[in-house]
Amino acid sequence: MTHWFHRNPLKATAPVSFSLYGVAASTGANKICNDLKAARARLLELLTDVTANAEMMKNATDAYFSLLQGFIISLDGTTQENKLRFIQNFKWTDTLQGNTPSAQQDAVFELVSMGFNVALWYTKFGSRMSGKEDITENEAKEVHRSLKTAAGIFRHLKDSYIPRLITPAEKGRDLEARVIDTYIVQCQAEAQEVTIARAIELKHNANLIAALAYETANFYQKADHTLTSLEPDYTAKWRKYLQLKQCFYMAYAYCYHGQTLLASDKCGESIRSLQEAEKFYGKAEDLCKEYRQTKGPGSTAKPSEQLFFRKLGSWIKNTLEKCQRENGFIYFQKVPPEAPQLELKANYGLVEPIPFEFPALHPQWSPEVYASFDLTKGLKDDKAKPKPEEEVKPMKEPDLKPQKDSGCLIS
């Protein structure tokens, strides 16, 4: 299912040397600075490495974040701010705002920005894995886990670290509440898509599938509504994707709800439910075209070209025709003028983010090493002040090559 998910670009960043000459006044302090530079470069390299897997990413993130914690956690036994927190300048772009970066001289800004990119990597890793030909059950579980992991990272950043920033995020920036909330909900919705595909594959109860599809559609609607007050110049394409997915899963919900009604001998109501499914499927098709034509950041998904998408259209059509035949021969029930109200609640399969915590402080950090950073000496190689207007080169992300579409997420 290559190109099933929309993905915004990774955040780009300016190089950071951690060259605290003069301040890092011991061998241990210098080693930490050198290791920070190397660990950061390694992590950024992995973010665009198509061969990277979840274990490699965890090792790289643990290595960097455990060292960076020494610039954030209080290490002198007091409740005062870490003396190193504001010593290094960091520049990061935003996923929706092009190549002009924001800059803050704050290690917490670096932590949340790099953490945000790691969460984005998990969404891209899950998307890439879902595009494999003949995906196995274990690989489908990995897609599911990756999306829940991403949601957990986004939520942890929002709840525990973004509020600590001295300079609050500007409107439409990644660390602003509406943007990060949309990422969280989108990850949950996409993880539930994997659950739905699994339920369909195993021919689970139609009522359960309808309920899961309805909950997933509501997730997409919530994500879309979260972006309504932001500028359409950079959100319009993303919103079209969220809207088409909402309509697609509403079509699924009404389709499977129609099957449930038919099984209860409510053929007239079943026909009306399937007519509503047909209507939402048509809206999804129209939105797919609008999405492709809308300019904006991110890779362009191609859901209407996927067998999983096209199968639903055939399924609705065939089931509706079957119900109409049955009604003409057996039931003779009136078709209600109004579509049935979906009051479906899934008791199983709902997705919650996997809780995330940053790694513990690296063993290289000790009170003695921390004390050897001497801020009274000042930096010998004091860099120029931040210049946010300077562009940062975008990350070179790998292209996704379409593979044979088996029509489902799990085989």
Residue 400 scores a pLDDT above 80: no
Mean per-residue pLDDT of the chain: 90
What pLDDT band is residue 338 in, cutting at 50, 70 and 90?
confident
pLDDT at residue 357 in the model: 97
Which tens digit of pLDDT belongs to each residue from 118-175?
A: 999 999 999 999 888 778 899 999 999 999 999 999 999 999 999 999 999 999 999 9
pLDDT at residue 2 in the model: 56
What pLDDT band is residue 1 in, cutting at 50, 70 and 90?
low
Which tens digit of pLDDT belongs to each residue from 22-39?
A: 899 899 999 999 999 999
CA angle 204, 206, 212 (to 5 degrees): 85
Task: Find the mean pLDDT for residues 288-302.
Answer: 91
* Of the listed ranges 33-47, 81-95, 335-349, the one predicted with least confidence: 335-349
Task: Find the mean pLDDT for residues 317-324.
Answer: 91
Task: Find the mean pLDDT for residues 364-391.
Answer: 73
Contact 103, 387 (CB under 8 A): yes
pLDDT at residue 390 in the model: 58
Which tens digit of pLDDT belongs to each residue from 222-240?
A: 999 999 999 999 999 999 9
Percent of the chain with pLDDT over 70: 92
pLDDT at residue 411 in the model: 34
Q: Which residue has the higher pLDDT, 361 or 202?
A: 361
Task: Find the mean pLDDT for residues 319-331.
Answer: 84
Residue 206 scores a pLDDT above 80: yes
Task: Find the mean pLDDT for residues 79-93.
Answer: 94
Residue 386 scores a pLDDT above 70: no
pLDDT at residue 329 in the model: 81
Task: Find the mean pLDDT for residues 231-252.
Answer: 96
Residue 92 scores a pLDDT above 50: yes
Which tens digit of pLDDT belongs to each residue from 344-358?
A: 776 666 789 999 999
What pLDDT band is residue 384 in, cutting at 50, 70 and 90?
very low
Rounded to an integer, what distance in angstroms lies between the CA atom of residue 2 and that of residue 406?
11
Residue 244 scores a pLDDT above 90: yes
Residue 87 scores a pLDDT above 80: yes
pLDDT at residue 398 in the model: 78
pLDDT at residue 403 in the model: 52
pLDDT at residue 327 in the model: 73
Reading the block at residue 202, the tokens are 């195993």
Rounded to an integer, what distance in angstroms lies between the CA atom of residue 358 and that of residue 146?
17
CA distances from 71 to 87, 89, 242, 361, 376 (A): 9, 12, 38, 10, 17
Distant-in-sequence contacts of 299-304, Cβ < 8 A, 24+ apart: 299/3, 299/6, 299/7, 299/9, 299/400, 300/3, 300/6, 300/237, 301/3, 301/4, 301/5, 301/6, 301/7, 301/241, 302/3, 302/4, 303/3, 303/4, 303/244, 303/245, 303/248
Task: Find the mean pLDDT for residues 39-68.
Answer: 97
Residue 409 scores a pLDDT above 60: no
What residues form DSSP beta bridges with 363?
A: none
